Amino acid sequence: MSHDHHNSVSVTVTVNGEQRTAEAEGRTLLVHFLRDTLGLTGTHWGCDTSNCGVCVVAVDGVPMKSCTVLAAMVDGCEVTTVEGLEGPDGLHPIQEGFIECHGLQCGYCTPGMMITAKWLLEQNPDPSEHEIRDGLSGQLCRCTGYHNIVEAVRFAADKLNNKEVSA
Amino acid sequence: MQVPAPFGYERATSVDHAIQLLEQLGPEARLVAGGHSFIPMMKLRLAQPEHVIDINPLAAELGTISIDGSDLVIGAMARHNDLLGSAVVGEHFPVLHDAERVIADPVVRNRGTIGGSLCQADPAEDLSAALSALHATAVIRGSGGTRTVAVRELHTGPYETVVGDAEMLTHIRVPIRNGCGSAYEKVERRVGDWAIAAAAAAVWMDGGIISDAGIGLCAVGAEHFVSTDAEAVLRGQAPSDDVIAAAAAAAAAGCNPTTDQRGPAEYKRHLAGELTARALRRAIARAQGAAA
Amino acid sequence: MTDTAVPTSAAGNPIGFGRMLRKEDVRFVRGHGNYVDDVQLPGMLHGAILRSPYAHARIVSIDTSEAEAHPKVHAVITGATLETLGLAWMPTLSYDTQAVLATDKVRFHGQEVAFVVAEDRYSARDALNLIDVEYEPLPVVVDAKKALDADAAVIRDDKDGKTDNHIYDWEAGDAVKADEAFAAALADGGVVVEQEMLYPRSHPAPMETCGTVAHMDPITGKLVLWSNTQAPHAHRTVYAMVAGLPEHKIQVIAPDIGGGFGNKVPIYPGYVCSIVGSIVTKRPVKWMEDRSENLMSTGFARDYHMKGRIAATKDGKILGLQVDVLADHGAFHATAQPTNYPAGFFHIFTGSYDYGAAHCKVTAVYTNKAPGGVAYACSFRITEAVYLVERIVDCLADELGMDPAELRMKNLIQPEQFPYTTPTGWEYDSGDYPRALQLALDMAGYEELRREQAEKRAKGELMGIGISFFTEGVGAGPRKHMDILGLGMADGCELRIHPTGKAQIRLSVQTQGQGHETTFAQIVSHQLGIPPEDVEVIHGDTDNTPFGLGTYGSRSTPVSGAAAAVVAERVREKAKIIAATALECSVDDLEWELGRWQVKGDPDNGKTIQELALLAHSSLELPEGVEGHLDASAVYNPPNLTYPFGAYICVVDIDPGTGMVKVRRFIAVDDCGPRINPMIVEGQVHGGLVDGIGMALMEVIAFDENGTCLGGSYMDYLLPTPMEVPMFELGETVTPSPHHPLGCKGVGESATVGSPAAVVNAVMDALKPYGVRHADMPLTPAQVWMTMQGRPLRTDLAFTD
């Protein structure tokens, strides 16, 4: 990171495994840096008050609301967005779960929802319904009524757990 | 989407550096830790600092939670989820886990810091009530050195604290004393919302008697987030339904809630009493369980 | 579950109806959706709107010079700029006018005053602070009940001769007959129950806010408008009419949309401003509203103050229902509904019960609030109607001391009475109501729940059971009755069958998450036997799809779905001629067997639709007058609405010390006819149930005495999180619509329409020991606790001491 007077900051982040460097204003929000500067439009935004969670990305593996983080703050960090969920072997089980269980409708909240759900399963590989709901309580969805999102996360948990067992 | 007004961005590399930057940049500079209260205010342009000093690099220096002598010491940069995930916190002060479970949501708790929450000094901020109930102290550092104030003395009004323009809150110290039980009760319109009202209770039991007590109140206009009247009712008493009811009544009587869309003042006053009673019952049970 | 009777394709999808994973999901889960804010064009500029801090004020002056001097600002547009173009005002969907940018006065908190176009969105926002507007505050009209007072400030003094805030009076039903029924009921020792209730102002609040990218090509004169509209074709026509732009030079593209719920039906000032901004700057202009702008200025929902009176015999036979409504429409009459229905379909308020007398009168008023009113999955105000009747039926049950399930069962329209004409003139097409209610009661274990409730009550615990039975009317609508701004509510559809037998279907409607790319492929598959994965659904681009009025009011399946069925039928008939030619037989000798025309009695002798597609494009000599190819088009004009219905049961527990309500269970039985894709139907029901729980328990936009909006962010306008709702228990009955070609009825809004009353009925049932019959939504902890004190609050105004 280097300074150019007060306003311009050079930000280097490793996004989905790829190192990217770009200029940003000090005030540039991470969500805009990802979407407008780096062109990663899979991460959305839905409110201004860190309530809705559609902008969630993982910073050094931890989900954060990227509308409430300055791009400059993540200089040197690793960022994972929805575009980085899919691995060389195909879709992440969370992505599969959302498809298989009809965990999305308009798709707008889905990227943030999946990033948080993935972290939730890393913290708690076998969550109860209540634990899934609690873990996703900072993620709003207006379409699904959450029922199938809970199912989607359970699907992913089962798949991940079976994978461990068989491996 | 709303965006902050322009500001100069600085990154502090140490506490001393942060204080130095504060002195150098003057009163229009603000420290930003998690930013989950302050950045939304900047986006709404309710706050327009000329300079923002990012203290996230101090997470290693100020992010730890440990026991130091007879105190639990919480670094100001500890994230809410660090506090919630800390076994030592849960062991000594379950009120903090109770409160953390109902502060915002898990993702916000990943980023928001203890120091940031306390310094934001929102009248509905949960930890101010919980830490006040525990008789915690705040460690504040400036270029002239370090001073400590009771968390109860930290806030001078809504969004105002005794932390000076060129000072920063570095740690919270919570004294560990035997026989402690504590609990937090909150009513919110919806999960993740700010409290309509909340109450923290801490009791220290000694031979079946409440030797000391702390009653914290949140979002009900209680002076310094506490009810000293309720604490006075409790001290020296054996726990009973009557004592709890008297403490709850004192808490309700002594607060000064305002009517807003979360509810009329009379409802909030009712909650101050009801939640004090509930928190006390759990705190006492925990103290007795701990003693057993 | 997949219907076992339906064969599956090589890809494992049903050939036709049945559970099938969505085709659109493969891009969404990878972050490759394409929403309006994802559109990036070379040279694109960004717009931002300056909004009024006052609810009612005269504009004394606007000084934009400092903003114009900002180095990154390209244009500042005010009402004065628009006046020179004749665009300062635009028509609303209800034949009123609405200010695009205020010229004379501002009339609500958050109204559009100026539009800045700048290099980037940050600079555009910065420049708003550089515009200096001098206002002269005026008295405000906040309380709809005082809008018609003689001393109320006149909001619409822009309208010639307007001296009050009255918009319209509208009636339905027979007032005389209703009066007679009420008099007879009382004379016979029956009961009359009266109840006032407010359906407060709420907001659809889709996760994606409204926005546009406008690009007026200065050389070709073509306007391309990316816009998250639910009605791209209707918008194109309205832009042509309003702005005088030639319609063939306007292309509206609705890309992926992050939820609509009616919020994205109207044309908003920001859309017009972005078009003007592009004309002025000769560059593409993007405008995306922020969350506060969405909640404060775009189409709200409801805001109906209702007074109902219900009459019944003493043993609970309903005799009549009367309703007076005071409708708060805000500062501009801009509700979106068919022309002849100023109160939408509210007059379906007689509900699902059989009685002969009903009357309603609706009076609409202006207030200093944002315009709108028909939105949030309301089915043109059937939400308000169902809430009214289902709430007052519960009040009647309370008065009679009858079980609310028993009272409903006693009065439901019987299956043999369909088609059933209601006292206000609706012709319900089909239904078996008692079967649906009984199924819901059985699923809930109703008797057991009542036993549990009695035990809990004895211990001072508060548990409630609420029932709601609803009849929806969706699929607007028959052209002779229904139009919006003169555009009849019929929808077109085009189907192309490529030579290899793959298909493309072009729709007039536009998905906002409903899964059209999947379900419309399934309709084609059902009709033609082509695997759904071989059918591409094209929608949302007016240059590439036929005209139609769009997706709202649960109309996609009833109208466009029918169009798709009809157009596929036409393809099938065309293929039959090709088959007869190829098989050298008469068309009368052929029979259709899924995906294949074959000779009757000789099933081995036939041609698949894929073979016929190739033949249709081949050198095969066709009979005189028969054109080649299989492509077809259709326009579907529905003969009637479809009438889905359902029975909902909600179980709540209330903490008596805090007033907090916990929804423990929710049972929903829906009948929407055959389900094209049961998975998608169930998903829509889940979503609607959470909408209903949200409205019942937390969602509201109130205003303080200055007209300041108190629900202007997600901190104040609360949406349910996963924590406030349970896993849902869904049931199904199937009563096909007799007039829809597939028997299907719409379902998208059923749960939103039906569920709020079930939740409120459950809460009021729990609070019975406190002797209060009604409290208005939202039933927040404060409202519940105040109700327990016998003093429920008015929820549309700021709470006061």
CATH fold of the domain at C490-636 = Aldehyde Oxidoreductase; domain 4 (3.30.365)
CA distance B83 to chain C (A): 22
Touching check for C780 and chain B: CB below 8 Å?
yes
With the C-alpha atoms ordered C438, C414, C398, C656, is the resulting torsion angle positive or negative? positive
CA distance B73 to chain C (A): 32
pTM tops 0.90? yes
Q: CA-based angle B114:B117:B122, to the nearest 5?
A: 155
- pLDDT, mean of residues C257-264: 97
Q: For residue B292, what pLDDT is reported? A: 46
- Residue C422 structure tokens: 């209601």
Side-chain-side CA neighbours of residue C233 (13 Å)? 24
Class at the top of the CATH hierarchy for domain C382-476+640-788: alpha beta
From the list B189, B194, B259, which residue is nearest C801 (CB)?
B259
pLDDT > 70 in chain C, percent: 100
- pLDDT, mean of residues A11-21: 98
Pair type for strands A8-15 and A18-25: antiparallel
Q: For residue C242, what pLDDT is reported? A: 86
DSSP C204-249: ---SS--EEEEEE-TTT--EEEEE--S-HHHHHHHHHHHH---GGG
In chain C, ranges of CATH 3.30.365.10 domains = 382-476+640-788, 490-636
The domains located in chain B, with CATH, are 8-57 (3.30.43.10), 59-175 (3.30.465.10), 180-291 (3.30.390.50)
pLDDT greater than 90 at residue C49: yes
How many helices (H) and strands (E) are present in chain C, helices listed first? 18, 34
From the list C31, C207, C723, which residue is nearest A142 (CB)?
C207
Helix (H) or strand (E) holding C77: strand C73-78
CA distance B32 to chain C (A): 20
CA distance B116 to chain C (A): 19
Query: Residue B222 in contact with residue B255, Cβ under 8 Å?
Result: yes
Question: What are the phi and psi torsion angles at A14 (to 5°)?
Answer: -100, 105
Give this complex's ipTM. Answer: 0.97
The amino acid present at C8, given as its one-letter code, is T
Q: Distance between CA atoms of C360 and C578, rounded to whole angstroms?
A: 56
From the list A28, A47, A134, which residue is nearest C723 (CB)?
A134
Q: For residue A2, what pLDDT is reported? A: 40
From the list B2, B187, B191, which residue is nearest C723 (CB)?
B191
- pLDDT, mean of residues C741-748: 97
Q: For residue A5, what pLDDT is reported? A: 43
pLDDT greater than 90 at residue C226: yes
Touching check for A52 and chain B: CB below 8 Å?
no
**Chain C nearest-CA residue for A44:** C208
Q: Distance between CA atoms of B107 and A65, rounded to whole angstroms?
A: 7
Pair type for strands C535-538 and C503-507: parallel
CA distance A88 to chain C (A): 13
Assign A165 a pLDDT band (cuts: 50, 70, 90): very low
pLDDT in tens, B176-199: 999 999 999 999 999 999 999 999
Q: CA-based angle C392:C398:C401, to the nearest 5?
A: 140
Q: Distance between CA atoms of C35 and A109, rounded to whole angstroms?
A: 12
In chain C, ranges of CATH 3.90.1170.50 domains = 36-138+209-257+264-297
- Residue C58 structure tokens: 């005269």
Instruction: List, in order, residues 6 or more apart from C381 with CB less than 8 Å away.
Output: C304, C337, C343, C344, C345, C346, C374
CA distance A33 to chain C (A): 12
- Total CB pairs under 8 A between chain B and C: 78
Mutate to test the interface with C, among B101, B189, B193, B194 (most CBs of C within 10 A): B189
Q: For residue C243, what pLDDT is reported? A: 86
**Chain C nearest-CA residue for A100:** C21
Instruction: List, in order, residues 6 or more apart from A87 with CB less than 8 Å away.
Output: none
With the C-alpha atoms ordered A154, A158, A161, A167, is the resulting torsion angle positive or negative? negative
Assign C2 a pLDDT band (cuts: 50, 70, 90): very low
Assign C516 a pLDDT band (cuts: 50, 70, 90): very high
Q: Distance between CA atoms of C276 and C223, rounded to whole angstroms?
A: 11
Strand order in the sheet with C357-365: C166-173, C357-365, C318-328, C304-312, C191-199
Residues in B closer than 8 angstroms to C798, CB to CB, are 260-261
| Ramachandran assignment for C526, one of left (phi > 0), alpha (psi -120 to 50 degrees), beta (any other) | alpha
Pair type for strands C105-106 and C596-599: unpaired
pLDDT in tens, C354-391: 999 999 999 999 999 999 999 999 999 999 999 999 99
Q: For residue B291, what pLDDT is reported? A: 53
Instruction: List, in order, residues 6 or more apart from B85 with CB less than 8 Å away.
Output: none
Q: Which DSSP letter does residue C558 get?
A: I
Query: Residue C671 in contact with residue C736, Cβ under 8 Å?
Result: no
Q: Which residue has the tokens 């020991």?
A: C769
Domain C36-138+209-257+264-297: CATH architecture, name and number where available: Alpha-Beta Complex (3.90)
Q: Which DSSP letter does residue C332 get?
A: S
Arithmetic mean of pLDDT over chain C: 97
Residues in C closer than 8 angstroms to A117, CB to CB, are none
Query: Residue B218 in contact with residue B125, Cβ under 8 Å?
Result: yes
- Total CB pairs under 8 A between chain A and C: 180
**Chain B nearest-CA residue for C290:** B1
The rounded average pLDDT for each run of 10 residues, N- to C-terminus, in chain B (292 residues) is 95 97 97 95 94 97 97 98 98 98 98 97 96 98 97 95 97 97 98 98 97 98 97 98 98 98 98 98 93 50
From the list A27, A75, A135, which residue is nearest B106 (CB)?
A135
Residue B155, classified by CB atoms within 10 Å of its CB into exposed (0-12), middle (13-18) or buried (19+), is: buried
Assign A163 a pLDDT band (cuts: 50, 70, 90): low
The domains located in chain A, with CATH, are 3-82 (3.10.20.30), 93-166 (1.10.150.120)
Q: Which chains touch C (3 or more CB pairs under 8 A)?
A: A, B
pLDDT in tens, B139-182: 999 999 999 999 999 999 999 999 999 999 999 999 999 999 99
